[in-house]
Chain A
């Protein structure tokens, strides 16, 4: 089985202010605000483009590489 490296967005929930700036810029709606408290990334959709990380006023989104078996 081949292993792929993919980029995904990770939110530091503790410091997320749930402003929704990330939701507004995500081109594929892979990020949403959970219960008005923090942003949650749908890892199966996220393509790791980094737009959300750039827009986040609190800079709490990190783009990390993850390994995925496929």
Chain B
């Protein structure tokens, strides 16, 4: 049986790994992560598919690499509740609420109501000092957003690595907010076709 041939986009895990490393040295690299935020949404909204997840997502590839090729995953099934719509959409809402909170903090720094915090917040709780990664070259508001956005990216990576170890390599994809959101958008965009298909299959 032949293996599927490799394409350039099968190496995007390098981008994901580089992103996390670069942010350790200079927090402003966090802005690159906006690509991972807007691209999947744009593809889902414009094209109505999940090609980002299915093809380009470097994070998913990174988890495959660590779990599958490096054998760090125990490959157990995820508990059923994680797969439910309630949990997945619940986590998406929680994630978005935390995201808005981060944006609000950025706004406070922009407006001068609050001082910038040179810290990365892990799992929405633990503040890690990160002051070496910022040298004061941009306005504090812009840097604050970088710290906040990098916190979001690092937190989701850490969660993904934890579930990669305990469950299947890409178990993060089961509850990944971007994955849930793009699937939801695709459903809304294509529901006519999906309903038709379902009716024709259940004959």
- State the A residues within 8 Å of B (CB): 15, 17-21, 23-29, 33-37, 49, 54-60
| B167 & A57 in contact (Cβ 8 Å cutoff) | yes
Partner of A59, one of B51, B53, B78, B183: B78
Closest residue on chain B to residue A13 by CB atoms? B198
Considering only CB atoms and an 8 Å cut-off, how many residues of chain B contact the other chain? 40
B residues lining the A interface (CB < 8 Å) = 1-4, 44, 48-51, 53-55, 60, 64, 75, 77-78, 83-84, 88, 167-174, 179-180, 182-183, 185-187, 189-190, 193-194, 197
Q: Is the CB of B182 within 8 A of A58?
A: no
Chain B at the A interface: mostly helix, strand, loop or mixed? helix
Task: Give the number of residue pairs across the A-B interface with Cβ within 8 Å.
Answer: 95
Q: Across the interface, do B174 and A17 meet the contact criterion of CB distance under 8 Å?
A: yes
Task: Please determine whether A21 and B170 come into contact, CB atoms closer than 8 angstroms.
Answer: yes
Q: Are A19 and B54 in contact (CB under 8 A)?
A: yes
Given contact pairs A37-B190, A57-B170, enumerate 19 new A-B contacts (beta carbons under 8 Å).
Answer: A17-B174, A18-B179, A19-B50, A19-B54, A19-B174, A20-B50, A20-B53, A21-B64, A25-B4, A35-B49, A35-B189, A35-B193, A36-B185, A36-B189, A37-B186, A57-B167, A57-B171, A57-B172, A60-B83
Contact of B168 with A59 in the complex, beta carbons under 8 Å: yes
Chain B residue with Cβ nearest A59 = B77
Known: A35-B194, A57-B168. A17 touches B48 (CB 8 A): no
Contact B190 A35 (CB under 8 A): yes
* Contact, CB under 8 Å: A58 / B180: no
Find chain A residues with CB under 8 A from B51 CB. Answer: 36
Contact across chains for A57 and B173 when beta carbons are under 8 A apart: yes
